[in-house]
């Protein structure tokens, strides 16, 4: 079952509960629903993580963890879903989101440079924030919906495959 695979790749509860960033959540992190591995919990956690992963905000993992606790979805899956935006992927993701938002708002896509400075934040970011946020919201929503569909589809396929394997094994045992 998919549950066995997920249990193998996910860190155990104790490791997650002892993580310095997650300790801040205290007793709320002990809620059993946050750790339960079923199709709906995993799909919801992935959707939350993917949505937050597409948002141009700092502290995505902490935000995903907090929302997973509030919404009672699978916490580790929600946090791992945020990893869609990482040092390798965040530039293409946010550039695509900006272009998508600019296209929807019918704003011309300008040549914007990025630098970590107060000047950039007060001048360049004020020009691109609306298309970037709109594009990020839409991209995050689409990614979340695709994530839910993918989890439900794959979960069902794996369960059906495992049923067939058990049925074939049972038939071979009865045929001996």
Q: pLDDT of 33-60, one tens digit each?
A: 788 788 999 999 999 999 999 999 989 9
Rounded Cα gap, residues 56 and 94, in angstroms: 7
Both structure tokens of 50? 């993917």
What confidence tens digit (pLDDT) does each residue in 54-109 have? 999 989 998 999 999 999 999 889 999 999 998 899 889 988 998 999 999 988 87
Contact 150, 49 (CB under 8 A): no
CB atoms within 10 A of CB 155: 18
């Amino acid at each position: 079952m998919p549950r066995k695979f997920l249990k193998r790749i996910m860190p155990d509860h104790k490791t997650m509960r002892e993580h310095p960033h997650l300790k801040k959540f205290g007793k709320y992190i002990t809620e059993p629903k946050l750790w339960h591995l079923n199709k709906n919990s995993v799909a919801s956690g992935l959707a939350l993580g993917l949505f937050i992963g597409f948002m141009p905000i700092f502290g995505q993992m902490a935000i995903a963890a907090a929302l997973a606790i509030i919404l009672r979805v699978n916490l580790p899956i929600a946090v791992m879903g945020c990893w869609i935006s990482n040092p390798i992927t965040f530039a293409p993701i946010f550039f695509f989101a900006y272009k998508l938002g600019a296209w929807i708002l019918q704003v011309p896509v300008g040549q914007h440079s990025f630098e970590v400075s107060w000047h950039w934040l007060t001048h360049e970011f004020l020009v691109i924030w609306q298309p970037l946020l709109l594009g990020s919201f839409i991209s995050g929503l689409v990614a979340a919906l695709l994530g839910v569909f993918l989890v439900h589809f794959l979960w069902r396929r794996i369960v059906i495959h495992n049923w067939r394997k058990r049925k074939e094994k049972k038939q071979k045992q009865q045929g001996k």
